[in-house]
């Protein structure tokens, strides 16, 4: 899930900080770590089948002295493949993750990393509602998902940053920017691959949804940059092949004007906002864009940026709330009360109830200190990111840099989404500065098909692909499981859509 501006949707928070984003912190390793590693003191775990179902096994690596990974077998959800859960421990901070082996060839298939957005929403939404091996329909009703992405890949789901889902900190520590979180993710990936060496060299894909449009470019860049340090230490680099962003909000400058287009023009559905409101929005849009540019991008005037965001929300977004439509799917009604209660999807509350079951928590190894009811999204985390103006960081710059280094990037969008819609995403890809920009822009949109059935449109040049999924909303794998899985399978196989 994602909330764009102050005053927009359930998880927003106020923009009140005087800093924009953060400079990505380099990963430093002490001399003792190098000495220990060179001395052959590291013993990899190697075989995941040796892990216990009763207790955690702790993995460490001398190259990452501040990090440990606790992991255990947690045979649940799929039933046909190995399932594992655990924590990434960064001193007093602990990130919870799930890992499922591929249903096809787990010893050969690619590896996918998945995160949901928010910022502050748990990847349990992706796991139990969208693309995971099982669907939670009710507290005691869990069914096999035939369209899970582990059909052809091994896959991680992670609750990040600290405070999201079952992730927690011992002493109130918090992560407030995407770049802070990126170095933890990069370290975890390296430790996992070092211990379970059968995954070394496998194609690795970083994927996410919604605010994942901000997360994934930064996380993938951190993994890529860390590779140079791994090579210098005679370790195997991560074979980062691609980044996949589903219904992402990567660049607010291209997304905000698209809100007007999606609600007032027949871009995916007939206009859902009345004529008078559309006229007022159109009149205000230029002022909104100019103010955001001046206050949120050209300077770091956080108070003025907050004011600009509040104005834009009232002028551009508020008409949709008044119209009573689901911001994640314009074909569905949704009241403000339903939005705040369940994000317009009652199944999210059922997932929470499922994860509150004591037997489930015991099976997956949730820390016993976490006694509060499960929350799909954490508003405190959202507010901290908003406080730091994290959503205004131009994450498309990471995408351009990854493309220049041969990392493939897939931008896919459920066509009925409003909050991180296809119009804004297409505009972002067309305006993206990289050496293949002219070729990409010159390509027309064309249908992509399953058999003879058109299921969306696509444009591709070199390592960059843009694609829509017709009839899907913000959580495209939930709405169109077959089409989403087919898209991913073709992407993993590097086949043209």
Q: Which residue among the candidates 8, 268, 474, 479 is catalytic per the annotation? A: 474
Who contacts 7 (Cβ-Cβ below 8 Å, separation ≥6)?
309, 310, 313, 314, 317, 318
Mark whether 210 is an active-site residue. yes
pLDDT digits (tens, 9 = 90+) for 113-161: 999 999 999 999 999 999 999 999 999 999 999 999 999 999 999 999 9
**Is 1-497 a domain of CATH 3.40.50.1820?**
yes
Q: Which residue among the candidates 102, 210, 242, 395 is catalytic per the annotation? A: 210
Q: Which residue among the candidates 417, 460, 479, 484 is catalytic per the annotation? A: 417
pLDDT above 50 for 343 = yes
Q: Residues 333, 324: contact at Cβ < 8 Å?
A: yes
Q: For the residues 268-288, what does the mean pLDDT come to?
A: 96
Q: For the residues 424-443, what does the mean pLDDT come to?
A: 98
Question: Rounded to two decimals, what is the model's pTM?
Answer: 0.91
Share of the chain above pLDDT 90, in %: 79
Indicate the domain borders of the chain: 1-497
Instruction: Provide the pLDDT confidence category of residue 25 given band limits of 50, 70 and 90.
Output: very low
Mark whether 107 is an active-site residue. no
Mean pLDDT: which of 69-83, 287-301, 470-484 is highest? 470-484
Mark whether 417 is an active-site residue. yes
Share of the chain above pLDDT 70, in %: 91
pLDDT digits (tens, 9 = 90+) for 55-82: 999 988 888 999 888 999 998 898 899 9
Residue 24: the pLDDT is 33
């Amino acid at each position: 899930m994602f909330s764009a501006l102050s005053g927009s949707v359930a998880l927003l928070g106020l923009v009140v900080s005087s800093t924009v984003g953060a400079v990505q912190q380099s990963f430093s390793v002490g001399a003792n770590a190098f000495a220990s590693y060179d001395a052959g003191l590291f013993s990899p775990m190697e075989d995941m089948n040796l892990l216990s179902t009763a207790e955690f096994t702790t993995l460490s690596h001398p190259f990452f002295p501040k990090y440990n990974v606790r992991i255990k077998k947690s045979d649940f959800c799929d039933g046909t493949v190995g399932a594992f859960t655990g924590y990434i421990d960064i001193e007093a901070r602990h990130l919870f993750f799930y890992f499922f082996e591929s249903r096809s060839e787990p010893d050969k298939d690619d590896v996918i990393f998945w995160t949901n957005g928010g910022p502050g929403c748990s990847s349990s939404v992706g796991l139990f509602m969208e693309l995971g091996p099982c669907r939670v329909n009710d507290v005691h009703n869990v069914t096999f998902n035939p369209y899970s992405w582990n059909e052809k890949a091994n896959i991680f789901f992670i609750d990040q940053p600290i405070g999201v889902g079952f992730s927690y900190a011992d002493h109130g520590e918090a992560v407030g920017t995407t770049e802070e979180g990126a170095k933890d993710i990069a370290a975890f990936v390296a430790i996992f691959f070092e211990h379970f060496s059968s995954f070394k060299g496998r194609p690795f894909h970083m994927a996410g949804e919604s605010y994942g449009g901000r997360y994934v470019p930064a996380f993938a860049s951190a993994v890529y940059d860390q590779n140079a340090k791994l090579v210098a230490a005679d370790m195997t680099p991560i074979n980062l092949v691609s980044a996949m962003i589903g219904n992402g909000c990567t660049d607010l400058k291209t997304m905000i004007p698209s809100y007007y287009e999606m609600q007032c023009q027949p871009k995916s559905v007939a206009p859902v906002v009345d004529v008078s409101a559309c006229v007022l929005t159109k009149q205000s849009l230029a002022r909104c864009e100019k103010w955001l540019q001046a206050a949120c991008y050209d300077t770091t005037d956080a108070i003025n940026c907050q004011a600009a965001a509040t104005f834009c929300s009232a002028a551009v977004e508020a008409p949709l709330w008044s119209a009573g439509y689901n911001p994640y799917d314009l074909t569905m009604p949704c009241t403000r009360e339903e939005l705040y209660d369940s994000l317009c999807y009652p199944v999210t509350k059922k997932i929470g109830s499922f994860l509150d079951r004591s037997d489930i928590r015991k099976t997956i190894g949730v820390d016993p200190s976490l006694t509060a009811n499960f929350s799909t999204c954490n508003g405190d985390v959202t507010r901290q990111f908003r406080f730091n103006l994290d959503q205004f960081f131009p994450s498309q710059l990471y995408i351009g840099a990854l493309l220049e280094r041969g990392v493939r990037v897939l931008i896919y969008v459920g066509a009925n989404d409003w909050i991180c819609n296809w119009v804004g995403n297409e505009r972002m890809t067309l305006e993206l500065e990289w050496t293949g920009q002219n070729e990409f822009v010159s390509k027309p949109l064309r249908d992509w098909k399953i058999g003879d059935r058109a299921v969306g449109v696509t444009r591709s040049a070199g390592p960059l692909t843009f694609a829509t999924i017709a009839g899907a909303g913000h959580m495209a794998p939930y709405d169109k499981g077959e089409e989403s899985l087919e898209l991913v399978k073709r992407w993993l196989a590097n086949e043209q859509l």
